[in-house]
């Protein structure tokens, strides 16, 4: 009698797609000179926390520091819901939240309107430009902070009508290969064509933990009230 081959056991299910990470960003802005005053440079260091679940991304601003002036201890949370096409922002200090929808949501109506509201004429955003050139190039594969990544470079030149000098934006990024949305590093330069004015942005993930964060991390805390203005989630006079 032939030997029986034992049935294979259940295969281990893949780990749920999700992570939590700490990151930092540095923004440097150089302003124009005024009269006899030379141009000044402002540098802001930002501490960040990132968490992801399928279709959900949460980003927290944990700290703000400047080399010029003291900044408020601003802790703002932003949650991107890619299924609902919304971004929700809230602040634990003021307990307000602001909802931004990518797609317009029709307001409920109780009946037909007696005088229909005129629909504004659509205008192409390109109609006010003299120049728009965009190039995105994949630069190869590497490992960034222990994570396999794919590199991208971005180059954009844009000029409004009547502006001879275009704004030039360049950027490079390393995107994690095993995530639908996770830049491990971003380095960008904005050159408005009026030196010495300009800005730079540098971002990098410092540490990363795999695992599915709790769903409650992506929901508005209880007791928070909705506001119609983004400014209302920023604490004043503190």
pLDDT in tens, 59-74: 999 998 888 777 766 7
What are the extents of the domains in the chain?
Answer: 19-103+127-233
pLDDT band at residue 122 under the 50/70/90 scheme: confident
Residue 216: burial class (beta carbons within 10 Å; 0-12, 13-18, 19+): exposed
pLDDT digits (tens, 9 = 90+) for 33-89: 777 788 889 999 999 999 999 889 999 999 988 887 777 667 899 999 989 999 999
| CA–CA dist 134, 157 (Å, integer) | 7
Distance CA 77, CA 60 (A): 4
Fold that domain 19-103+127-233 belongs to in CATH: outer membrane lipoprotein receptor (LolB), chain A (2.50.20)
Q: Which tens digits make up the pLDDT trace of 135-157?
A: 999 999 999 988 999 999 999 99
DSSP 111: S
Give the model's confidence band at 112: pLDDT under 50 very low, under 70 low, under 90 confident, else very high: low
Nearest one of 29, 27, 24, 30 to 44, comparing CA atoms: 27
């Amino acid at each position: 009698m032939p030997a029986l081959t034992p049935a294979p056991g259940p295969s281990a299910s893949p780990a749920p797609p999700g992570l939590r990470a700490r990151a930092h960003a540095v923004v440097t802005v150089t302003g124009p000179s005024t009269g006899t005053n030379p141009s000044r440079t402002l540098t802001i260091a930002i501490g960040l926390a990132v968490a992801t679940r399928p279709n959900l991304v949460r980003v927290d601003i944990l700290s703000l520091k400047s080399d010029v002036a003291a900044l408020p201890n601003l802790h703002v949370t932003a949650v991107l819901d890619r299924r609902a096409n919304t971004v929700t922002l809230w602040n634990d200090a003021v307990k307000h939240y602001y909802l931004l929808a990518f797609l317009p949501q029709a307001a409920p109506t109780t009946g037909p309107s007696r005088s229909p509201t005129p629909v504004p004429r659509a205008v192409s955003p390109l109609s006010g430009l003299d120049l728009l050139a965009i190039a995105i190039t994949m630069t190869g594969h590497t490992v960034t902070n222990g994570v396999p990544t794919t590199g991208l470079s971005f180059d954009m030149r844009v000029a409004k009508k009547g502006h001879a000098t275009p704004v030039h934006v360049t950027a490079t990024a390393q995107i994690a290969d095993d995530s639908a949305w996770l830049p491990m590093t971003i380095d960008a330069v904005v050159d408005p064509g009026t030196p010495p004015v300009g800005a730079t942005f540098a971002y990098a993930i410092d540490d990363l933990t795999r695992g599915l964060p709790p769903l409650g991390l992506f929901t508005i805390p209880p007791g928070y009230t909705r506001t119609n203005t983004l400014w209302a989630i920023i604490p004043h006079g503190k």
